Amino acid sequence: MGRSPCCDKNGLKKGPWTPEEDTKLIQYIQTHGPGNWRTLPKNAGLERCGKSCRLRWTNYLRPDIKRGRFSFEEEETIIQLHSVLGNKWSAIAARLPGRTDNEIKNYWNTHIRKRLLRMGIDPVTHAPRLDLLDLSSLLTSPQLNLSNLLRLQTLLNPEALTLALNLVAANNGNPDGLLQKLQENQTFLNSHHLQNQDNTAFQQPSQFTNIVSQETPSNLATTPSFPNQNQCIQGIMGHFPMNSTDHSNGQSFQDNLTTATDLSSFFYGVSDQMKTDVSENSSFDSVLSSPAPLNSASTYINGSTEDERESLCSSLLKFEIPECLDLADFM
């Protein structure tokens, strides 16, 4: 359905608004109120498109517009809402009094988006970016075996581990290369004692299911020699290097396993030290469970600089490995 342009573009002014034009628009709207934007320019004595008038009014001349730097509360609200709503700037703006969709959109694109990218966060999905993980160095290690991959499972999301598996296969020249390594680990897995006979105490890690059901390597999921999930879990439980209360708030490894909904959440539970390293703020629990990487740390960060904000944001990212956890222990 063809549409006529919203206004006759010939003779209409474009570009930045002058103070005189602003004054005319403000005076007209104060007298007649906003609305009927098509006829407004003519009635107000403006050589502008009605659309341009509406944009100028709603984004810059409205009396309730809040100007100036975004506060940390506003910023974290934007990030959280964006993680839920996506690029629905008007919907986000509706939750931020005094801020316009255009302003929020610009702030996102020029500040928040870049900061998330620098921190390795995909600004679209709010998830860690897989392309920034240096998986190749891990996967070319001679220590590569299934148990190590399964330990990585606690650090990476399922997509990352899937990628790892695919990279392993590609690195070996054919998918059977990985299969061979998996078979080598069969002995290791089978030799392990079952430390927790009652596997029903915790849910089967759904992410593991993702791994074994991957189409590539093609024959991975169907090969009879591939260890079953219970065997793999046994391997993890037997070889996980952390024991007792290491790195956790007095919570044992076993307790973590029995309460975690999956192995990744177990790892996140272990990373409590990271929280206290950053702040004493009790609301960090929600940080670690929220889709958005940020939550309430207002008392800490208010008035801080851009770099300080980024520093805090980096520390809040749950995928970032805290110093207290030595990766070498996992390998």
Report if residue 28 touches DNA, rule: CB under 7 A.
no
Omega into 217 within 30° of 0, i.e. cis?
yes
Using CB under 7 A, pick the residue from 24, 25, 41, 56 that binds DNA.
Answer: 56
DSSP string, 129-192: -GGGS-HHHHHTSTT--HHHHHHHHTTS-HHHHHHHHHHHHHHTSSHHHHHHHHHHHHHHHHTS
In the complex with DNA, the residue whose CB is nearer, 88 or 132, is 88
The least distance separating DNA from the CB of residue 60, rounded to whole angstroms, comes to: 5
H helix intervals, the chain = 19-32, 40-44, 50-56, 72-85, 89-94, 101-107, 113-118, 135-139, 146-153, 158-171, 175-190, 206-212, 229-239, 253-259, 263-270, 272-278, 284-289, 298-301, 306-316, 327-330
Closest among 313, 288, 292 to 301, alpha carbons compared? 313
Q: Which stretch binds DNA (CB under 7 A): 57-65, 234-242, 250-258, 291-299?
A: 57-65
Q: Does residue 50 interact with DNA by CB under 7 A?
A: yes
Q: Which stretch binds DNA (CB under 7 A): 110-118, 127-135, 173-181, 226-234?
A: 110-118
| 105 is a contact residue toward DNA (CB under 7 A) | yes
CA 294 to chain CA centroid, Å, is: 9
Stretch that binds DNA, among 50-58, 145-153, 194-202, 229-237 (CB under 7 A): 50-58
The binder of DNA chosen from 27, 39, 141, 206 (CB under 7 A): 39
* Size of the residue set binding DNA (CB under 7 A): 41
Site for DNA in 114-173 (CB under 7 A): 114
**Could you say whether residue 19 binds DNA (CB under 7 A)?**
no
Of residues 113 and 181, the one with the C-beta less far from DNA:
113
Residue 17 binding DNA, by CB under 7 A? yes
23 is an interface residue for DNA by CB under 7 A = no
